[in-house]
Structure 1
Amino acid sequence: MFTPQGPTLRELAVQALSSTMRGYDLLAPKFDRTPYRTPDRVLEAVAEAVRPLGPFGRGLDVCCGTGAGVDVLRGLCRERVTGVDFSAGMLDVARGAHTGAAGGPVVDWVRADALALPFTRAFDLALSFGAFGHFLPEERPGLFGQVHGALRPGGLFVFPVGAPPAVGSRAYWSLLGFDLAMRARNALWRPPFVMYYRTFPLAGVTDDLVRTGFTVRLLPLEEFGRRPDGSPRVRLVVAARA
């Protein structure tokens, strides 16, 4: 991260002391050169798992950032693909980096809050990568309700969820430390910067989706292997609007 191409420590500090939206506006030009961008391996695995569930006409990337998920949708949808994000800076980078290919689906970029999506029954497929840590648990039902309303009947909302790290592992302590530091930052500094790694448990997420009106399936992404207990390291949540 701390390379000539990526953000400097000072830039990250300024971002962390800004609001969530302003922080991403500032980070946008260098975002794709940080570990925060969803790895291509994850994007490709999701695309391969979703493709047999189609065909799809129109797709929506919820909290699209710099547009990595839009590229996935362009390979899955025939008519139109829309990326939506609340950060003008991230959308500017996305527009410059991801233009629609000749003969492919039309690509749109929309600035909007995911908690107030300006769409009604417009899409066959919605996906999201790496954005859910920006929503507090009490906001999840509202977020899922907005996506539900944006989908046509039978439309799918898909996203990957990794298994939590083993208690006591290095990853466990790293994520716990990050979340505690962020909570302390938000208790002492305004405006808040909402980003947590441990607020999106699969069981709670599934319950919220069902209460919103989705039917939910969980597909293992076998490319990422299994844990010692045999459970998948990464699952794909496939939520269908009835």
Structure 2
Amino acid sequence: MFSPEGPSLRELAVQAFSSVERGYDLLAPKFDHTPYRTSDRILDATSAALRPFGPFDDGLDVCCGTGAGLRVLRPLCRGRVTGVDFSAGMLAEARRAHPDAEWIRVDARRPPFAAEFDLAVSFGAFGHFLATDRPALFTGVHRALRSGGLFAFPVFAPPRISSRSYWVPAGFDAAMRIRNAVWRPPFVMYYRTFPLRAVRAELTAAGFTVRTTVLPGFGRRPDGAPYARLVVARKD
């Protein structure tokens, strides 16, 4: 699961019994050597899908982690590129890897921006938000964008209930709920709490016009539905 440069089981255990912020501070130096880092394949597919909508001026990576999203923003944005995250450890790694970008420690539900960006992206972060947090998150991104700006992120079709890919994340979510019921501080990380129908409605309520586009190269399910889509939400 991890490369030799990745975290040990002991380090993962310490992270799991920390808060989300503290856990990612601890994981940050080795994060890019774990499967949790968004793959270049997903980033490149997102960049290709967004290219017809651009070019853009200023770009924002929401919950940026160690800065992988710059692989998308840099080719598409002509102006400044900014990443926001609440983990100081993740931001320190992002600064080391990309010193020419702007990195700000902030709660993504309350970003300190007003009409400053033309494109916002996010990768692999939504499992750290409870459903009750999403409206504030989407409203904050909407406020940060200029009129006509886009908020984009990939989503993947749920696996078949008969598959291992269905039961592994379902089991993880169940274990996380038990952990959070008996241990403090909570560690919010759930894989199956981001249904596209609900997310689309919440984005619309925040003021976005929402569409999706297929990300090619990830195949289709037996029923013909694509495995991967890009949500493209435009600020009206």
Query: Which of 119, 127, 134 is the matching residue for 2:113?
Result: 119
Cα separation, 1, equivalents of 2:10 and 2:197: 38
Residues 1:177 and 2:171 are matched in the alignment: yes
Residue type of the alignment partner of 1:20: V
Q: How far is the alpha carbon of 1:154 from its aligned partner?
A: 0.4
Q: Which runs of 5+ in 2 are unaligned?
A: none
Indicate the RMSD between aligned Cα atoms, in angstroms: 0.8
Residues 1:37 and 2:37 are matched in the alignment: yes
Cα separation, 2, equivalents of 1:46 and 1:4: 29
Residue type of the alignment partner of 1:58: D
TM-score (normalizing by structure 1): 0.96
Query: Which of 197, 220, 235 is the matching residue for 1:203?
Result: 197
**Which residue does the alignment assign to 1:225?**
219
Cα separation, 2, equivalents of 1:82 and 1:225: 32
Report if aligned partners of 2:2, 2:35 keep a CA contact under 8 Å in 1: no
Q: 1:229-240 residue pairs with structure 2 within 5 A?
A: 229-240=223-234
Cα separation, 1, equivalents of 2:74 and 2:105: 19
Cα separation, 2, equivalents of 1:3 and 1:147: 34
Residue type of the alignment partner of 1:25: D
Q: 1:1-242 residue pairs with structure 2 within 5 A?
A: 1-100=1-100, 107-242=101-236
Residue type of the alignment partner of 1:196: Y
Secondary structure of the equivalent of 2:136?
Answer: helix
Report if aligned partners of 1:71, 1:98 keep a CA contact under 8 Å in 2: no
**Which residue does the alignment assign to 1:104?**
none
Residue type of the alignment partner of 1:241: K
Report if aligned partners of 1:19, 1:192 keep a CA contact under 8 Å in 2: yes
Residue type of the alignment partner of 2:91: L
Cα separation, 1, equivalents of 2:2 and 2:128: 23
Residue type of the alignment partner of 2:24: Y
Q: How far is the alpha carbon of 1:2 from its aligned partner?
A: 4.7
Moved over 4 A (4+): none
Deviations 1:191-235 (A, max 9, x none): 000000000011111011011110001100111111111111001
Cα separation, 2, equivalents of 1:237 and 1:187: 33
Residue type of the alignment partner of 2:53: L
Q: How far is the alpha carbon of 1:14 from its aligned partner?
A: 0.2
Cα separation, 1, equivalents of 2:2 and 2:219: 30
Deviations 1:152-201 (A, max 9, x none): 01000000000001112101110100000000000000000000000001
Aligned length: 236
Cα separation, 2, equivalents of 1:24 and 1:204: 27
Cα separation, 1, equivalents of 2:216 and 2:2: 32
Cα separation, 1, equivalents of 2:125 and 2:235: 21
Residue type of the alignment partner of 1:54: G
Secondary structure of the equivalent of 2:152?
Answer: strand
